[in-house]
Structure 1
Amino acid sequence: MTRRINAAGLAHIMQWEGCELTAYKDVAGVLTIGYGHTSAAGIPHVKAGMRISQKEAEDILRADLGKFEERVQRLVKVPLTDNQHAVLVSFDFNTGKLHSSTLLKKLNAGDYDAVPAELMKWVNAGGKRVKGLVNRRSAEAGLWAKGEFVSSNTTEAKPRPEPVVTKEYVSWFTGILSTLGLAGAGSGPLQWALAIILVISFGVGLFFFIKKRLDPA
């Protein structure tokens, strides 16, 4: 079964493709509608004066993405998170060049970290650097690194660890500090710094207390 793009990836493509509910001619003179759909992509065939609803535009986009979802699944030989899969579908949908890209070669060699830089090479159109493509590639690079990650082709995807010092810790220690008159209420940089110091100090103190109880000599 072909792996489908996730909600974050679909929203990304919708944002950067833009949507026109009335048929128009693109810069190459090709009749286009919805999220960049043309007759070459399959049904529906675009005709002059054609109009569709927003829902129809989204349904057509999902159908058009099927080809690129299948290509990503077939071409990529290493594990991908949902966001990483979505980025490659978006990239291939936009360029159609995943199969011949250095990006794919490096990724299949297990070099996940090379992908953002490789994405940023695809920002030209007509021989010129296009700001819109720079922004799109930057957004794709951000989505690539968001949430879960895979560090190598032998490492199972795992969620990023939660920070040791959370907002709950800050609130707790801020209350203590306020009681002692050492800091005002809030959770600004000062409170974060003091909370971190107290957490570390508490941990070190607890370590030596336990060590002394276990080894009183």
Structure 2
Amino acid sequence: MNTRELQTQLTALGYAPGAIDGQWGKMTEAAVVAFQRAAGLYPDGIAGPKTEKALAAALVALNAAAPSPAPARQSMSAIGLAALIAREGRKLTAYKDSVGVWTIGIGHTSGAGAPVPYAGLTITAAEADAIFARDIVKYEDAVRDAIKVGLADHQFDALGSLCYNIGPTGFAGATFVKRINTGDTPARIRAAILMWRKPTEILSRRTAEADQFATSYSTSLPKARSTDARPVSMAA
């Protein structure tokens, strides 16, 4: 399947690959990831045989005017996941984070479930990615549960990153969540996001998350931290 055909199919199914121009870019990859997650496939952003088969089946159902399925639950896009991974890093040996919590992999702590990090624990890169793929579902669920209004991809991604850092309980009670749900002004939402500024070294990440929430990906890709010279790489 060529890229233009892929973009056309994704658009017909309600995904957003950007312009139908035959050019493979970050927006197209993000749309593929979103479709894969909704279809229960591994979200690798590659339009391989399984993804093509799932696309074909979805289009057949659409063209046959089958009863509309429930809207796909919003999940973090490929861009959002790359930003979050860049913020957390990928550590294969357990370490204590800035507040003394044992951590391993991509920001994994015991609060997210097994494995419980401890001094001397090591894992492989593949294990780190597998733990992250399992962990992220919990935080996506927490964002969906707390937010009662529609979100653009960049907004959902920013909130997923925030939730991953402050935890589902802190997220659910956060002032910025209340302000988003009541349709408050962008400036007040940003100010509320930046209330979560401890420890001091977290501020550059928090500012980047606030920028990500406010800025569409068509305007600018997010940075891991506001002090970074460049946006995140999709290979993060």
TM-score, normalising length from structure 2? 0.55
2:182 equivalent in structure 1: 109
Flag the 1:43–1:143 CA change in 2: closer, same or farther, 3 A.
same
Partner of 2:112: 41
Compute the displacement of 1:137 (Å): 1.3
Other-structure match for 1:147: 216
Q: Deviations over 1:180-214 (max 9, x none)?
A: xxxxxxxxxxxxxxxxxxxxxxxxxxxxxxxxxxx
Task: Extract structure 1 runs of 4+ deviating beyond 6 A.
Answer: none
- Paired with 1:25 and 1:124, the residues of 2 have a C-alpha distance of 16
- Specify the alignment match of 1:55 in structure 2: 126
Match of residue 6, structure 1, among 52, 59, 77: 77
Task: Establish whether residue 123 from structure 1 lines up as the match of residue 197 from structure 2.
Answer: yes
Higher relative helix content: 1
Shift in CA distance, 40/106, structure 1 to aligned 2, threshold 3 Å: closer
Deviation at 1:88, TM superposition (A): 0.8
Residues 141 and 33 of structure 1: CA distance in aligned 2, closer, same or farther (over 3 Å): same
Q: TM-score, normalised by structure 1?
A: 0.59
- Residue equivalent to 1:153: none
d(CA) in 1 for partners of 2:118, 2:174: 34
Report what 1:179 is aligned to.
none
Q: Distance in 2 between matches of 1:31 and 1:76?
A: 30
SS at match of 1:103: helix
Sequence identity (%): 39
The number of residues matched between the two structures is 145
Letter in 2 for 1:120: L
1:180-199 aligned at under 5 Å gives the runs: none
How far is the alpha carbon of 1:11 from its aligned partner?
1.6
The answer to whether 1:98 aligns with 2:98 is no
The equivalent residue for 2:17 is none
Equivalent-residue separation in structure 2 for 1:27 and 1:65 (angstroms): 21
Where in structure 1 are there 5+ consecutive unaligned residues?
149-158, 161-217
Output one character per residue of 1:84-132: Cα deviation in whole Å (capped at 9) or x when no partner: 011111111111212111111111011251322211111122xxxx1x3
Question: What's the CA shift string for 1:46-94, capped at 9, x where partnerless?
Answer: 3543322223212212211211100111111110011101111111111
Give the secondary-structure state (helix, strand or coil) at the position aligned to 2:134. Answer: helix
Greater gyration radius: 1
Q: Is the 8 A contact 1:3 1:70 kept in 2?
A: no
For 2:193, the aligned partner's letter is L
Q: Which amino acid aligns with 1:133?
A: I
Q: Distance in 1 between matches of 2:203 and 2:83?
A: 14
SS in 1 for 2:151: coil
* Counterpart-to-counterpart distance in 1, 2:194 and 2:166: 13
Question: Tell me, which stretches of 5 or more residues in structure 2 are unaligned?
Answer: 1-71, 220-236
